Amino acid sequence: MVVLLLGTRLYDARTGTWAAIVFATLPAVWYSSLLISTDVPLLLLWAVALLTFWNAFRERSWTWSIVAGVAIGVGLLAKYAMIYVFLGVAVFAWVEPTVRAFLASRQFMTIVALAVLLFLPNLLWNLDHGLVTFSHTADNAHWGSGPLLHPDKALEFLGSQFGVFGPLLFATLLWLLVTSFRLRQRTEPDEAGTRVADRYLLSLSVPVILLVLVQALLSRAHANWAAVAYVGATVLVVAWLLRRGARNVLGLSIALHTAAGVYLYAGALGTPLPGMESLRARLEGWRDIGAQVADRAAGAPYTAIAAFDRMATAELLYYARPRLQPVLRWPTEGVPGDHFQLETPLTPKDGGYVLLVSQWPLTDDIISRFETVETREILRIRGPSGSARTVYLYDAEGFQGL
């Protein structure tokens, strides 16, 4: 709905309608809709920020400035990738002189101030925890590891974007990128009202892709790291194709993406289709495992449920309900590797009588950390598609710490 409003506001109702349909059927949106991830609120708030910042700039509006600041601030709490919006605004000011006066206005200062204010709790928490989130983000980037350049990773990331945005749409965006210098050189009157809008959407999409591409060249990058770029890119590509009478390209893209999405959903929901095995293995089984773990925990005086990796901890927190015991994460002697190891590690205080949940048989090193460990049960869960998952349950007493 926000993409519809964005396309309508920047261009016209036809563009907004097509953009909304195209965005709803993007391969990345099909896939993301299967998952609970930080990308979902990030994309919504990015879209709201794009719409409200544009309105604030065009109307010099205090109301839109306040909403834009709130969207950016809350978006930063969803995922740090929201910071790219300021990169896009800087590029927009570089290619579009008319925006520079707005960046010196009190409305823009209000946007920045509200974003910083809303992000402040996260910053204060990080200062109290040795900036652990920022160091973890840097670790994810793998800077300084291995050779200086990784052209194979850059090509891999670039190729993945044809799957994220769709082959026809991404090819169109690349063509726009190649010819985008013309947008900066064009200074004639904007009679159609599209030049500034084109520059705005280019500035809020292409620089993100290029930045992540450089990151991939230096180290690596996941396919979704540039996901925010495709909110504005969708509206831009749709508007450009409609202006050139290429509505058939949009129709073909929607049909292609919908077919791929139906295939993805059918595979995820259990239909035995080629290429879906790994996806099914990741998705299936945890609901049943969580229910059985909660059932076992309800029948004994456990002080805690403990898991050995981030994924299992998260799955149990979500699916092992209702329960009386906390779900804790196996601790580490070094730097915490995830939020659970930092905030909810298993400690001797919690380890009086623990239900251990493991995806592999326990090693002697783990067993030696307890006074006693007994195998309680081995759960073998088979999903609707036939994929199997095995989980080992142990009764453990007297955790002594690491």
Angle at 79 between CA 77 and CA 83, to 5 degrees: 90
Q: Nearest to residue 9, comparing CAs of 68, 59, 72?
A: 59
Q: What is the per-residue pLDDT for 341?
A: 93
d(CA 160, CA 223): 6
Whether pLDDT at 72 is above 80: yes
Q: What is the per-residue pLDDT for 277?
A: 67
Please write the tens of the pLDDT for every residue from 235-268. 999 999 999 999 999 999 999 999 999 988 887 7
Mean pLDDT of 116-128: 94
Sign of CA dihedral 250, 251, 253, 254: positive
In Å, how far from its chain's centre is CA 92?
24
DSSP, residue by residue, 169-204:
HHHHHHHHHHTTHHHHH--S--TTS-HHHHHHHHHT
Mean pLDDT of 365-372: 95
Q: Nearest to residue 165, comparing CAs of 231, 108, 216?
A: 231
In Å, how far from its chain's centre is CA 17?
25
d(CA 270, CA 276): 9
Mean pLDDT of 35-45: 90
**Measured between alpha carbons, how far is residue 288 from residues 158, 221, 294, 363, 384 in Å?**
38, 33, 10, 25, 11
SS3 at position 391 = strand
- DSSP lists the bridge partners of residue 329 as 307, 345
Please write the tens of the pLDDT for every residue from 95-104. 999 899 999 9
In Å, how far from its chain's centre is CA 213?
17
Q: What is the per-residue pLDDT for 280?
A: 66
Both tokens assigned to 377: 């049960």
**Measured between alpha carbons, how far is residue 56 from residues 67, 71, 153 in Å?**
9, 13, 39
Q: What is the mean pLDDT of the chain?
A: 89
Both tokens assigned to 347: 């400690």
Please write the tens of the pLDDT for every residue from 52-68. 999 999 999 999 999 99
Determine which helix (DSSP H) or strand (DSSP E) holds 25, and give its type and residue range: none
Both tokens assigned to 55: 């309105």
Q: What is the per-residue pLDDT for 68?
A: 98
Alpha helices in 27-83 (DSSP H): 27-32, 39-59, 62-78
Please write the tens of the pLDDT for every residue from 155-170. 999 999 999 999 999 9
pLDDT band at 187 (very low <50, low <70, confident <90, very high): very low
* Long-range contacts at 314-320 (CB < 8 A, ≥ 24 apart): 314/340, 315/286, 315/289, 315/290, 316/289, 316/290, 316/357, 318/36, 318/286, 318/290, 319/286, 319/287, 319/289, 319/290, 319/291, 319/294, 320/290, 320/291, 320/293, 320/294
Sign of CA dihedral 51, 98, 81, 174: positive
Q: What is the per-residue pLDDT for 142?
A: 63
Q: Nearest to residue 199, comparing CAs of 90, 295, 66, 290?
A: 90
Q: What is the per-residue pLDDT for 19?
A: 98
d(CA 270, CA 260): 16
Please write the tens of the pLDDT for every residue from 289-332. 999 999 999 989 999 999 999 999 999 999 999 999 999 999 99
Whether pLDDT at 144 is above 60: no
Q: What is the per-residue pLDDT for 337?
A: 85
Q: Rounding to the nearest 10 degrees, give the CA dihedral for residues 103, 62, 109, 115.
A: -120
Q: What is the per-residue pLDDT for 135?
A: 77
Q: What is the DSSP letter of 326?
A: P
As a residue count, the chain comes to 402
Please write the tens of the pLDDT for every residue from 198-227. 999 999 999 999 999 999 998 888 888 999
d(CA 163, CA 257): 9
Whether pLDDT at 138 is above 80: no
pLDDT band at 82 (very low <50, low <70, confident <90, very high): very high
**Contact (CB, 8 A) for 111 and 118:** no
Q: Nearest to residue 304, comparing CAs of 287, 332, 329, 340?
A: 329
pLDDT band at 177 (very low <50, low <70, confident <90, very high): confident
pLDDT band at 36 (very low <50, low <70, confident <90, very high): confident
Q: What is the per-residue pLDDT for 188?
A: 45
pTM score, two decimals?
0.86
Whether pLDDT at 10 is above 70: yes
Domain ranges of the chain: 2-268, 282-397
Strand order in the sheet with 372-382: 327-329, 304-307, 353-358, 388-397, 372-382
